[in-house]
Amino acid sequence: MAYSDKVLDHYDNPRNVGSFDKNDPQVGTGMVGAPACGDVMKLHIKVGADGVIDEARFKTYGCGSAIASSSLVTEWLRGKTLAQALQIKNTDIAEELALPPVKIHCSVLAEDAIKAAINDYRAKQGAAPHTDESPVETLNAATAG
C-alpha cells in the first residue's frame, strides 16, 4: 500500500492527539466505528460560548489513513462554527489526503465523527440532534442561541 505524503505526515506527526473531560458541558464526544471493522475514532470538540470550536482532539484505532483523516479534521475544526464544521464532507478529507478508493471509508468515518461530536454537544446543551435534513440556517440560529 502506497500512502500519500500527507497521510504519512499525519501518521508520523499526528496533530492534536488526546482527550478533554468528556463530562464538561462545553465538550462534545464523537465515537464511531468498531474494533471488529478495524477502525474506531474518538473525536472531542471543545466549543466556546460563542459557538465556535476552540479546540479538537482525537484518538484513533485504525490504519494510517484513518489516523490521518482524524488528525486532519482536528486541524480543520479549530475556529469553525458548528454549522461550518458540519459542512466538512468526507470528499474534502479524501481529496486533501489523496486517499485511494479502498480508503474512502476512513474519510466517511471522520465525517461521521464530526457529526457525532456535534450531536453530543448539542444534546448536552439541550438542543435537538442534527440530521442530514436539518437546514443549516436553523442550526446556525440554534448554535447562535
Partner 1 sequence: MNRPIYLDYSATTPVDPRVAKKMVPFLFDRFGNPASRSHSYGWDAEEAVELAREQVAQLVGADPKEIVWTSGATESDNLAIAGAARFHQGKGKHLITVTTEHKAVLDTMRHLEREGFTVTYLDPEPNGLLDLEKFTAAIRPDTVLASVMHVNNEIGVIQDISAIGNLCRARGILFHVDAAQSTGKVAIDLDTLPVDLMSFSAHKTYGPKGIGALFVRRRPRVRIEALMHGGGHERGMRSGTLATHQIVGMGEAFRIAHAEMAIDNERARALRDKLFAGLSALDEVYVNGDLQLRVPHNLNMSFNFVEGESLMMAMKDIAVSSGSACTSASLEPSYVLRALGRPDELAHSSIRFSVGRFTTEADVDTTVELVTRNVRKLRDLSPLWEMHQEGIDLSKVQWAAH
Residue 8 C-beta: closest distance to partner 1, Å: 8
Separation between Cα atoms, residue 105 and residue 21, nearest integer Å: 28
Q: From the CB of 2, what's the least distance to partner 1, in Å?
A: 11
Beta strand ranges found along 37-117 (DSSP E): 39-47, 53-61
Binding segment for partner 1 (CB under 8 A), chosen from 12-20, 45-53, 79-87, 136-144, is 12-20
From 8, 24, 37, 91, the catalytic residue:
37
**Contact at 8 Å (CB) between 28 and 35?**
no
Q: Is 109 an interacting residue with respect to partner 1 (CB under 8 A)?
A: yes
According to the binding rule CB under 8 A, does residue 35 interact with partner 1? yes
Q: Which amino acid is at 102?
A: V
* Nearest-angstrom CA–CA distance, 99 and 124: 34
| Rounded CA separation 139/145 (Å) | 10
63 included as an active-site residue: no
Q: Which three cell numbers stand for residue 117?
A: 461530536
> In angstroms, what is the minimal distance from the CB of 137 to partner 1?
28
Residues near partner 1, by CB under 8 A: 1, 3, 11, 14, 17, 19, 31-42, 59-64, 66-67, 101-102, 105, 108-109, 112, 116
Positions annotated as catalytic residues are 37, 106
